[in-house]
Structure 1
Amino acid sequence: MRRAFVVVSTITLVVFAFQFVFAAVGAFTKPSSDSAYALHSITGMAVIPALVLLTTLFAALAKAPGRLIALSVLPLGLTLLQALLAALPEAFADETGSSTVVGLIFGALHAVNGIIAIHVVVGVVRAAGRLAAPDPAPPVPLNATQNAEAT
């Protein structure tokens, strides 16, 4: 199960990285429309939550420490916050639909939150790798080494 935890958490990291690519595709698609962000939206609202839950399940099945299990579910909360931060800029648009300073701040926080989420996932992948690594050989007691040399 520990190996599966590493694999699923790594897949989750790759998908999170692709989110930045999908956002860039949406930002640079001309003419601009909401459909330009379709891959970004679907991945963020369906694929990532499913992968985060799967990662958390494998963390629990791998008997990871409670803190690592909690860390593995944290990206789900950050993903829910992403949805809110993505919606708020429109909510704060002026009467003509133009951006406002408050709306732009929430848009910027959407990007910052994405960076934080990917860093959390990197931490999960690293911790999963340490958990799955074989235990190092126990140190040989000094007396046993001396006794073996004496014989």
Structure 2
Amino acid sequence: MRKAFVIVSTLLLASFVLQFVFAAVGAFTKPAGDGAYALHSVNGTAVIPVLTLLTILFAVLAKAPGRLVGLAVLPLGLVVVQALIAMLANASTDVAGGSTPFGLTIAGLHAINGIVAAHVVVGVAQAARKLARPAPAGADPVTVREGEPA
């Protein structure tokens, strides 16, 4: 299960990297129509949440320490915050539907929250790899949860 935890957390990290790429694709698409952010939207609303849930599941099945399971759960909350920030930014337009300073400020928070989420996912992937490493020869088994040997 630990190898599966490593694989799924690495896929989640790759999906986060692609999310930034897809945001850039949307930002630089000319002319920018409704579909400019389609890849970013699908990845952020479907792929990332599914991979996050799988990461949580495999962290639990791998008997990861509670702190690591909690860290694996954190991106799910940050994804929910992302959606709320995006909705608020999109709703913060003027009467003609144009951007407002408030809406643009909120949109900036969307980017910052994405960076925080990506940073958390890097930590989860690194910790998953560390957890999956075999113990050195002759070493006592690592206890990952109190009372449960690795």
TM-score normalised by L of structure 1: 0.88
Counterpart in the other structure of 1:142: none
Structure 1 residue runs without a partner (length 5+): 140-151
AA aligned opposite 1:2: R
Rounded to whole Å, the distance in 2 between the matches of 1:17 and 1:99 is: 27
Rounded to whole Å, the distance in 2 between the matches of 1:61 and 1:83 is: 28
Correspondence list, 1:3-14, <5 A: 3-14=3-14
Rounded to whole Å, the distance in 1 between the matches of 2:101 and 2:138 is: 59
Correspondence list, 1:74-93, <5 A: 74-93=74-93
AA aligned opposite 2:75: P
Rounded to whole Å, the distance in 2 between the matches of 1:116 and 1:97 is: 29
Counterpart in the other structure of 2:135: 135
**Secondary structure of the corresponding residue to residue 86 of structure 1:** helix
> Which is greater in Rg?
1
AA aligned opposite 1:99: S
Correspondence list, 1:68-79, <5 A: 68-79=68-79
Shift of 1:41: 0.4
Q: Cα deviation per residue 1:23-80 (whole Å; 9 max; x = unaligned)?
A: 1111111111121111110110011000000011000000001111111111111111
Counterpart in the other structure of 2:35: 35
Structure 1 stretches of 4+ moved >4 Å? none
Aligned alpha-carbon RMSD (Å): 1.1
AA aligned opposite 1:104: L
Q: Percent identity?
A: 64
Rounded to whole Å, the distance in 2 between the matches of 1:62 and 1:116 is: 25
**Secondary structure of the corresponding residue to residue 136 of structure 2:** coil
Shift of 1:137: 3.6
TM-score normalised by L of structure 2: 0.89
AA aligned opposite 2:92: F
Correspondence list, 1:1-150, <5 A: 1-138=1-138
Rounded to whole Å, the distance in 1 between the matches of 2:33 and 2:77 is: 27
Counterpart in the other structure of 2:148: none
**Secondary structure of the corresponding residue to residue 93 of structure 2:** coil
Rounded to whole Å, the distance in 2 between the matches of 1:95 and 1:20 is: 30
AA aligned opposite 2:88: L
Give the total of aligned pairs. Answer: 139
Q: Cα deviation per residue 1:7-33 (whole Å; 9 max; x = unaligned)?
A: 110011001100011111111111111
Rounded to whole Å, the distance in 1 between the matches of 2:34 and 2:109 is: 19
